[in-house]
Amino acid sequence: MSAQPIASAAPEPAAALFSPLRVGAIAVANRIVMAPLTRNRAAAGNVPSPLAAAYYAQRASAGLLIAEATQICPEGQGYMATPGIHAPAQIAGWKIVTDAVHAAGGRIVLQLWHVGRISHTSLQPGGVAPVAPSAIAAKAKTVTTEGLVDVSAPRALRPDELPALIETYRMAARNAISAGFDGVEVHAANGYLIDQFLRDGSNHRKDAYGGSIENRARLLIEVTAAVAAAIGADRVGARISPVSPFNDMSDSAPQPLFEHAVEQLDALRIAYIHVIEGETGGRRDLDFDFAALRRRFRGRWMVNNGYDRASAAAAINTGAADLVAFGRLFIANPDLVRRLRENAPLNALDASTLYGGDAHGYTDYPALD
């Protein structure tokens, strides 16, 4: 009797999560991304805390770290103790972080942030009103030295102010590269300034930046093009949240709006798009065709919102995504990549330490060893 061939073991379904990938100019070791996570721990002058270097280095086994949302200018700040990338001390502070991440073998990009109307006069230079596409106050809150307060009513940006705003994004991208980041992510999600221009619930303008889908997407495309020209499109990503109502956001027809936006971003040949599927940190089962966006983009596709080991592996294995971003799981599990690889138990999150504070709940979550 002839010998029968030995059947090979079926591959572990999650194995694809741990395969390397090139994301534009950035070579990543695996498909697991640490999402940008605001922690409100910046030091005086909105300089990254000395603890931030340890925090990010602990999580450097992620294929890519996306540093917390970082304001591009003083007017872009909407919450207390969030870092900036517009002053020399901030750039120097971030350089300590990126050096620590690179020493640990990681790759890190910076999320460029302008909050628009999600701010308070006490956080604005001179105590003036925050800016927005239209003078429509959001039903939202922010954190100031007085605690949780309603955001302030904004004023509408004048058309002649927009070129300078775009230049501010470009300079922030260059500052990020000077600080040692491997790239940047344009924050166009979660109800902040660019998202406010995109969606007609917050944009009632009558000029070239309002009205039609093409006009409302204009700022996103012009900002991204300027950033790409400054540092290279292969080091640029963009984050979108087509149907998230976070920060009092809405749009009458999100599907055609974001299909157009993605097509325009694709034409810029940026490295990736990072999409929040459903409500930010909430429901995923909203009426929207995310696959239609995926088909319109030739770069890397990053998904986010409530993924676990099994659903992340399925997204990679089916081609629904190239990368999966994890948020709160990374806060509580600095060695999340190892835990996912070994299917090990996860640390529980202490929600009371998410925002503000010191090392507790920031750099003291235990690794497996």
Q: Which of 169, 192, 272, 362 is catalytic?
A: 192
Say if residues 239 and 189 touch (Cβ distance below 8 Å). yes
Say if residues 121 and 79 touch (Cβ distance below 8 Å). no
How far is residue 199's CA from residue 181's CA, in Å, rounded to a whole number? 30
How far is residue 197's CA from residue 305's CA, in Å, rounded to a whole number? 23
> Within a domain: residue 164?
yes
> Within a domain: residue 295?
yes
Owner of token pair 């956080």 = 123
What's the pLDDT at 284?
Answer: 81
What's the pLDDT at 3?
Answer: 47
Active site residue 192: yes
> Within a domain: residue 355?
no
Q: List all residues 6 or more positions away from 136 whose beta carbon is below 8 Å from its beta carbon.
A: 117, 154, 202, 204
> Within a domain: residue 359?
no
Return the CATH number at 279. 3.20.20.70
> Within a domain: residue 5?
no
Which tokens is 347 given? Answer: 């640390």
> To 10 degrees, what angle do helices 88-103 and 50-58 make?
30
> Within a domain: residue 365?
no
3-state secondary structure of 131: strand
* 120-129: burial string, b at 16+ Cβ within 10 Å, e else: beebbeeeeb
Range of the domain at 147: 21-343
What's the pLDDT at 11?
Answer: 62
Owner of token pair 């409100």 = 40
> Within a domain: residue 111?
yes
Q: What is the pLDDT along the chain (369 residues), one digit of tens a residue?
A: 344 444 455 568 899 999 999 999 999 999 999 999 999 999 999 999 999 999 999 999 999 999 999 999 999 999 999 999 999 999 999 999 999 999 999 999 999 999 999 999 999 999 999 999 999 999 999 999 999 999 999 999 999 999 999 999 999 999 999 999 999 999 999 999 999 999 999 999 999 999 999 999 999 999 999 999 999 999 999 999 999 999 999 999 999 999 999 999 999 999 999 999 988 878 887 889 999 999 999 999 999 999 999 999 999 999 999 999 999 999 999 999 999 999 999 999 999 999 999 999 999 999 998
Domain count, the chain: 1
What's the pLDDT at 9?
Answer: 53
> Within a domain: residue 78?
yes
